[in-house]
Amino acid sequence: MYNIDFNKVIGELKKLDYKNMYNGDFFLTWDKTDDEIKAVWQVADALRALRERNISTKVFDSGLGISLFRDNSTRTRFSFASACNLLGLEVQDLDEGKSQIAHGETVRETANMISFMADVIGIRDDMYIGKGHTYQKEVVDAVTAGNKDGVLEQKPTLVNLQCDIDHPTQCMADALHVIHEFGGIENLKGKKIAMTWAYSPSYGKPLSVPQGVIGLFTRLGMEVALAHPEGYEVMPEVEEVAKKNAAATGGKFTKTNDMKEAFKDADIVYPKSWAPFKAMEKRTVLYGNGDTDGIKALEKELLAQNANHKDWACTEEMMKLTKGGKALYMHCLPADITGVSCKEGEVDASVFDRYRDPLYKEASFKPYIIAAMIFLAKFKDPIATLTALEKEGKVRVHA
Q: What is the C-alpha to C-alpha distance for residues 90 and 80, in angstroms, rounded to an integer?
A: 11
Q: Tell me the mean pLDDT in the region 121-125.
A: 97
What percent of the chain lies above the pLDDT cut of 90? 90
Q: Tell me the mean pLDDT in the region 96-108.
A: 67
pLDDT of residue 208: 97
- Please give the radius of gyration of the chain, using alpha carbons only, rounded to the nearest integer: 21
pLDDT of residue 101: 56
Angle subtended by helix axes 382-392 and 366-378, to nearest 10: 120
pTM equals 0.96
CA-nearest of 147, 123, 127 to 27 is 123
Q: What is the C-alpha to C-alpha distance for residues 144 and 33, in angstroms, rounded to an integer?
A: 22
**Torsion angles phi and psi, residue 342, rounded to 5:** -160, 165
**Residue 102 predicted with pLDDT over 80:** no
pLDDT of residue 98: 57
Query: 127 pLDDT band (50/70/90 cuts)?
Result: confident
What is the per-residue pLDDT across 17-75, written as a single tens digit (0 to 9) for each? Answer: 999 999 999 999 999 999 999 999 999 999 999 999 999 999 999 999 999 999 888 89
Decide: 267 and 329 in contact? Cβ < 8 Å: no
What is the per-residue pLDDT across 292-333, written as a single tens digit (0 to 9) for each? Answer: 999 999 999 999 999 999 999 999 999 999 999 999 999 999
What is the per-residue pLDDT across 366-376, written as a single tens digit (0 to 9) for each? Answer: 999 999 999 99
Please report, for residues 124, 191, 259, 267, 351, the alpha-carbon distance to residue 320 in angstroms, rounded to integers and kept in the order given: 36, 17, 13, 12, 11
Domains, the chain: 6-166+366-392 (3.40.50.1370), 170-362 (3.40.50.1370)
